[in-house]
Structure 1
Amino acid sequence: MNRVRKSGGFPALLAVGLLSVIVSGCTANTGMEGSADESDISTPHANMGTSDEGPQEEVTIRVLYPWGQGAFDERFKDIDEKLPDIRLELIDSRAELEPLQELNAKKIVPDLIFANWGIEPLMELEMIEPLDALAEQYEFDLDRLDPSIIALYRAWDKEGRLIGMPTSADNYALFYNKEVFDLFGVSYPTDDMTWNDVLDLAKRLTAVKDGIQYRGLEMGPGFTGTEALVPLMQLTVNLTDPETGEVLISQEPAVHKYMELMKAFYNIPGLYNSDPEARKDYEFTKNTVAMIVSWPGYLRWGIGDPDKARSIDIAPLPVWPELPDIAPTHFSHPLILNKYSENKEAAFQVLMEVASADHQTVLAEIADGLTVLNQPEINERYGANYEIFDGKNLSAFVARTPALPPSRVSPWDKYVDIVGHLAEFAESDMNIPEFLRVVQEKAEMRIAEEKSRRE
């Protein structure tokens, strides 16, 4: 299966936690306190509550999911088997504006929608049913869920309502290749590094040896991908005004701080690869890059070969000195309850099972993502079905406290394309104010066009 990595995640993350996309795909040790005992792991609804009013006859719940029947069965078969009065049926489509409009025109109504392409199309089509009332009706304990993700979902909504149920989570950490470190005689990354520490390592590990260009760090292909925004995501600021769409990057200190860090990285001779081909895929897999910022599934989806992964381990994400334990807001693609579903209560029972410990364990074992529950012990099962995760320091992904998002995440942030201009910044002599003016002017044009489209 060709799993699309974060197309909804990072526009979403981009619009979310800064920022934003989320980012895919987790829980943190801190912020995930209150682990349940073993009985909670085996009993999906322990302490969550159920209703006596469930459907008495079989109800079909149609789930919009974009990766085909095989992937759907892998992720939902256990739920289908758990609920005898509910049958799950796949609608194989994307939660993007045009596909959703086509389904609506054909009067095909999914009850649940996997929103991995962002929630904006669903908001525009007014298809989102908030979950607060059903959670109260079924005595569903929202406190069992990662508070960072729940805060993010509420921050997406003008009224602070819960717009979806989290599925599995992606956190970020620092992968490193021991062979490259050994070649340069440099000690491996530690658990308490700041971005300045990583900058120093990147300088020491970027050089030509035996005719081969080695690079100390990669943050997205060519050092210009969405992962390059991770340090900014840790600062959790909006790039635009949530109400007016005013672009704020030129006046936002956090953005200037982030750009100073990026400038320092790009100033390391040889670190940035100006070859456009290099920005088509990661170079870390070639054993010529020492470190990469990425998500847990990168081992499976990005590397794939257990033999290649033997020299790779993981350290916690670097931090800003003034935020010594803060990771970006945790991100999880939500399952949305369709406002037009005629089976909302049955669909919510499916959502409760999605957030059960049993199902979260299933998702962890197939490396779909880290758990969205405040039960970090579930993450010990992460990647259990795949040899490539054996012996890896997966606890690095939950070693930091996730930042809480702004109280209202700006829906206009996705039009501020910092990532799309990083190559220009790396290859030019623009100073930071000049660069931000270029990004701001283009963002203002895009926002104006979008406002005109909505009128």
Structure 2
Amino acid sequence: MVSTKKSCIAGAAVLLTASLALQGCSQGNSASNPKGNPAAGEAQKINTEPVNLTVWASMSEEVFQKLVVQPVKMKYPHISLTMVGTDKKIPDLIASDNVPDIITDSIASIPKYEELKLAEDLTPFVKAFNLDLGRISPVVLDTVRKASSDGKLSGLPISGNVVMMYYNKDTFDRFGVPYPKDGMTWDETYELAKKMTKTDGGVQYRGFHFQDVFQFTANQLSLPIVDSKTNKAAVNNDKWRKLFENYARFFTIPGNEVDDKTYGGHQNQFLKDKTIAMYVTSSIFSKLPDALKDGLNFDMVTLPSFSEAPGITTQVDGGIRIVSSTSKHKDQAFLALSAMLSDEAQVWTARNGNTAVLNDPKILEEFGKDIEILKDRNRLGFVRNKPAPPSPSITKYDASAYSIVRSQFKKMVLTHADVNTILRETEELINKAIAEAQK
């Protein structure tokens, strides 16, 4: 879900080049507002002439048809959608004047597209077409607004991320330990991990491992990584120290250690080797059927939470849809996005394993109903926790900063370095990267 980042300097150069190219290719395309001037409270008339919109997205054609095309067709039959794969890079699409009408990415990516002057402000379209934003979960909408600059609405949220703790029931049965439960804290999970880390029959069983992406980039404590007022790192403090120490302690359990080769590579150990008792990750639905056939006896519980934030999962960083500022069909692109927010479309989204973003518990409870492997399992564990509020500061430097944080956490785990030293280094590296980007 989250791709590997290049160096900050290279990233800044790409952004600058793309931004300049965009400014050149978008001259003369000043239609940034919906056409017409409907009376107050009256929705703008919809043009029903057939139109084909392009959508930049990273998903299979089957998923695209199911989760993007079909919801739009249900409401607006005149709108057709064609996917442009993410193998086509945005800077190249800008340079060739072929930017898709709609861009699919994460909420955290909004500052990047604003930097490229590629994210259309959707506020005028919301008013023109009477879209009721009150139907969207306040936390989700607030996260999008925080990521957008200057009071803009630079995209519409369509789905949320799902981070869970999966566990191997057979391993717990083997050691006679009760299964994990919804609502556990990280401290409780740590104690359980110690019990489940042992050697049996010559096999080393590990109590806990996790995929670190969401645990940092959408952390449960809503910690900012860069101060938007000063554009300086905001990581060398007690709260980030607690975050680092919380996750690092799992790798100090005898038998649960990692090295440079095994760090971050535990998905196969959970799915195939079946030697990890508990594994925290985002959706792995596509890989579970084969694991199930291979004998994995699993279930899921809510993501463990911090004692000071009980029942809170990660921040929302799910699917966002951005209308390109270069699109010649902005009205229709906006209508396509609004169709994805209808009750019917959101039920469809939830049933197929993506968290709905509407403020309706009944729709949330539809989660996973159409996913065969979730039947007779704790599918509602995906939606029982509440998402963490957005970080108070979201900047265009966050992506590079989070890459540094994850690299530094790995260094701390592998070298057993002092957390205070690691956080000081992290702050220095982030500030250096920001300074280079600003050049």
Equivalent residue number for residue 262 of structure 1: 247
One-letter identity of the residue aligned with 2:341: A
Say if 1:95 and 1:114, in contact at 8 Å, map to a contact too. Answer: no
Say if 1:177 and 1:311, in contact at 8 Å, map to a contact too. Answer: yes
1:351 correspondence with 2:337: yes
1:132 correspondence with 2:128: no
One-letter identity of the residue aligned with 1:243: K
Q: Deviations over 1:255-305 (max 9, x none)?
A: 01112223422221121221504534512112111111123x323335644
Equivalent residue number for residue 9 of structure 2: none
Say if 2:251 and 2:257, in contact at 8 Å, map to a contact too. Answer: yes
Say if 1:149 and 1:332, in contact at 8 Å, map to a contact too. Answer: no
Query: Once structures 1 and 2 are overlaid, which stretch shifts more, 417-426 or 378-387?
Result: 378-387
Say if 2:140 and 2:316, in contact at 8 Å, map to a contact too. Answer: yes
Say if 1:66 and 1:94, in contact at 8 Å, map to a contact too. Answer: yes
5 Å-filtered alignment, 1:298-309, equals 298-301=284-287, 304-308=290-294
Equivalent residue number for residue 93 of structure 1: 85
Q: 1:326 aligns with which of 293, 312, 322?
A: 312
Q: 1:200 Cα shift?
A: 0.5
Cα pair distance change 1:143/1:80, threshold 3 Å: closer
Q: 1:217 Cα shift?
A: 0.7
TM-score by length of 1: 0.80
1:6 correspondence with 2:2: yes
Cα pair distance change 1:85/1:179, threshold 3 Å: closer
Looking at structure 1, the residues matched to 281 and 264 of structure 2 have their Cα atoms a distance apart, in angstroms, of: 15
Equivalent residue number for residue 229 of structure 1: 216
Cα pair distance change 1:50/1:326, threshold 3 Å: farther
* Partner SS for 1:408: coil
5 Å-filtered alignment, 1:49-448, equals 51=43, 53-67=45-59, 69-83=61-75, 86-94=78-86, 99-116=89-106, 118-220=109-211, 225-229=212-216, 233-250=219-236, 252-274=237-259, 276-277=261-262, 279-282=264-267, 283-285=269-271, 286-295=273-282, 297-301=283-287, 304-308=290-294, 311-367=297-353, 369-416=354-401, 417-448=404-435
Looking at structure 2, the residues matched to 236 and 376 of structure 1 have their Cα atoms a distance apart, in angstroms, of: 23
Say if 1:112 and 1:336, in contact at 8 Å, map to a contact too. Answer: yes
Q: 1:73 Cα shift?
A: 2.1
Gaps of 5+ in 2: 6-40
Say if 1:314 and 1:396, in contact at 8 Å, map to a contact too. Answer: yes
Q: 1:199 Cα shift?
A: 0.7
Q: 1:240 Cα shift?
A: 1.5
Cα pair distance change 1:331/1:95, threshold 3 Å: farther
Q: Deviations over 1:119-143 (max 9, x none)?
A: 3442222011122221122221111
One-letter identity of the residue aligned with 1:94: T
Aligned residues with identical type, % of pairs: 26
Say if 1:421 and 1:439, in contact at 8 Å, map to a contact too. Answer: yes
One-letter identity of the residue aligned with 1:82: M
Cα pair distance change 1:151/1:389, threshold 3 Å: same
Q: 1:247 Cα shift?
A: 1.3
Looking at structure 2, the residues matched to 123 and 227 of structure 1 have their Cα atoms a distance apart, in angstroms, of: 23
Looking at structure 1, the residues matched to 405 and 334 of structure 2 have their Cα atoms a distance apart, in angstroms, of: 38
Looking at structure 2, the residues matched to 360 and 53 of structure 1 have their Cα atoms a distance apart, in angstroms, of: 24
Cα pair distance change 1:101/1:50, threshold 3 Å: farther
* Partner SS for 1:410: coil
Q: 1:375 Cα shift?
A: 2.5
Looking at structure 2, the residues matched to 61 and 317 of structure 1 have their Cα atoms a distance apart, in angstroms, of: 37
Q: 1:69 Cα shift?
A: 4.1
The structure showing larger relative contact order (alpha-carbon pairs under 8 Å, at least 6 residues apart) is 1
Equivalent residue number for residue 18 of structure 2: none
| RMSD across aligned positions (CA) | 2.6
Say if 1:8 and 1:115, in contact at 8 Å, map to a contact too. Answer: no
Q: 1:166 Cα shift?
A: 1.3
Looking at structure 1, the residues matched to 90 and 229 of structure 2 have their Cα atoms a distance apart, in angstroms, of: 26
Say if 1:129 and 1:336, in contact at 8 Å, map to a contact too. Answer: yes
Looking at structure 2, the residues matched to 281 and 266 of structure 1 have their Cα atoms a distance apart, in angstroms, of: 13
Q: Deviations over 1:315-358 (max 9, x none)?
A: 12212112222222222221101122222222111111111122
Looking at structure 1, the residues matched to 289 and 207 of structure 2 have their Cα atoms a distance apart, in angstroms, of: 18
Q: Deviations over 1:71-92 (max 9, x none)?
A: 4323233245335563323241
TM-score by length of 2: 0.83
* Partner SS for 1:119: helix
Looking at structure 1, the residues matched to 95 and 4 of structure 2 have their Cα atoms a distance apart, in angstroms, of: 24
Looking at structure 2, the residues matched to 101 and 181 of structure 1 have their Cα atoms a distance apart, in angstroms, of: 49
Say if 2:102 and 2:324, in contact at 8 Å, map to a contact too. Answer: yes
Equivalent residue number for residue 39 of structure 1: none
Looking at structure 2, the residues matched to 129 and 314 of structure 1 have their Cα atoms a distance apart, in angstroms, of: 39
One-letter identity of the residue aligned with 1:129: E
Q: 1:61 Cα shift?
A: 2.4
Say if 2:196 and 2:206, in contact at 8 Å, map to a contact too. Answer: yes
